[in-house]
A and B are shown apart, each in its own frame.
Chain A
Amino acid sequence: MAEKLNFHLVSPERELFAGLVDQVVVPGTEGDFGVLAEHAPVMATIRPGAITVFEDGAKRRIFVNGGFAEVTPEGLTVLAEDAVDVTAVDMAALSQELQDAREDAADAKTDEDREAAQAVVDRIEALQAAVQTDAYA
Chain B
Amino acid sequence: MPSLKEFRNRIDSVKSTQKITKAKQMVAAAKLRKAQEAAEAARPYAQRIAAVVANLSASMADNPGAPKLLVGSGKDDVQLLIVATADRGLCGAFNTNIVRKAREEIVRLERDGKTVKILCVGRKGYDQLKTLYKDRIIDVVSFREVRQITSHEASEIAERARAMFEGGEVDIVKLIYSEFRNVISQVPTVQTLLPAAASIDPEAKGPDLKGAAYEYEPNEEEILAALLPRNLTSQVFNALLQNVAGEQGASMTAMDNATRNAGDMINRLTLEYNRKRQANITKELIEIISGAEAL
- Residue positions of A touching B, CB distance < 8 A: 8, 10-15, 28-30, 33, 40-45, 68, 70, 72-74, 77, 79, 81
B residues in contact with A41, CB < 8 Å: 209, 212-215
CA distance A77 to B218 in the complex (A): 17
Residues from chain B with Cβ under 8 Å of A73 in the complex:
207-210, 212
Give the residue name and chain of the A residue nearest to B149 (CB). Answer: A13
Closest to A72 in B: B207
Q: B167-188: which have CB < 8 Å to A? A: none
For B276, what are the chain A residues with a Cβ–Cβ distance below 8 Å?
none
For the complex, count residues of B whose C-beta is within 8 A of A: 33
Contact present for B222 and A72 (CB under 8 Å) = no
**Minimum CB–CB distance for A12 against chain B, Å:** 4
Give B54 Cβ to nearest chain A Cβ, in Å.
13
* Known A13-B38, A13-B150, A73-B208: A68·B217 in contact at CB below 8 Å: no
Q: Is B207 within 8 A of A42, CB to CB?
A: no
**Chain B residues with CB under 8 A of A40:** 212, 215
Tell whether, in the assembled complex, residue B237 and residue A44 are in contact, meaning their CB atoms are under 8 Å apart.
no
Interface residues of B in 186-211 (CB under 8 A from A): 206-210
Q: Is B295 interfacial (CB 8 A cutoff)?
A: no
**Quick one: which of B207, B209, B226 contacts A68, CB cutoff 8 A?**
B226
- State which of B4-12, B39-47, B83-91, B260-268 sits at the interface with chain A: B39-47
B45, A11: Cβ atoms closer than 8 Å: yes
Question: What are 9 inter-chain pairs, A to B, with CB distance below 8 A?
Answer: A10-B48, A12-B233, A13-B38, A13-B41, A30-B217, A40-B215, A43-B214, A70-B52, A72-B209
Question: CA separation between A14 and B56, bound complex, in Å?
Answer: 24
Residues of B at the A interface (CB closer than 8 Å) are 38, 41-42, 44-46, 48-49, 52, 56, 150-151, 154, 206-210, 212-218, 222-223, 226-227, 230, 233-234, 237
Contacts A12-B42, A13-B45, A29-B217 given; 11 further ones with Cβ under 8 A? A10-B45, A12-B154, A12-B237, A14-B44, A15-B45, A42-B216, A68-B227, A73-B209, A73-B210, A77-B48, A79-B45
Determine how close the nearest CB of chain B comes to the CB of A67; give it in whole angstroms: 8
Task: Give chain A residues whose Cβ lies under 8 Å from the Cβ of B223.
Answer: 43-45, 68
Q: When A43-B52, A43-B216 are in contact, do A14 and B41 touch as well, CB less than 8 Å? A: yes
User: Do A29 and B48 touch across chains, with their CB atoms under 8 A apart?
Assistant: no
Q: Which of B207, B217, B222 has the most CB of A within 10 A?
A: B217
Q: Is the CB of A13 within 8 A of B226?
A: no
Question: In angstroms, how far is the closest chain A Cβ from the Cβ of B244?
Answer: 13
Contact assessment for B215 and A43 in the assembled complex, using a CB-CB cutoff below 8 Å: yes
Q: What is the CA–CA distance of A45 and B223 in the complex, to the nearest angstrom?
A: 6
With both chains docked as a complex, state the minimum distance between the C-beta of A43 and any C-beta of chain B, in angstroms: 5
Shortest Cβ distance from A31 into B: residue: B217
Q: What A residues does B42 contact at CB under 8 A?
A: 12-14
Known contacts: A13-B41, A40-B212, A73-B207. The answer to whether A45 contacts B226 by CB under 8 A is yes
Q: Which 7 A-B pairs have the closest CB atoms?
A: A12-B151, A14-B41, A44-B217, A72-B207, A10-B45, A41-B214, A42-B215
Q: Which of A40, A68, A79 gathers most chain B CB within 10 Å?
A: A79
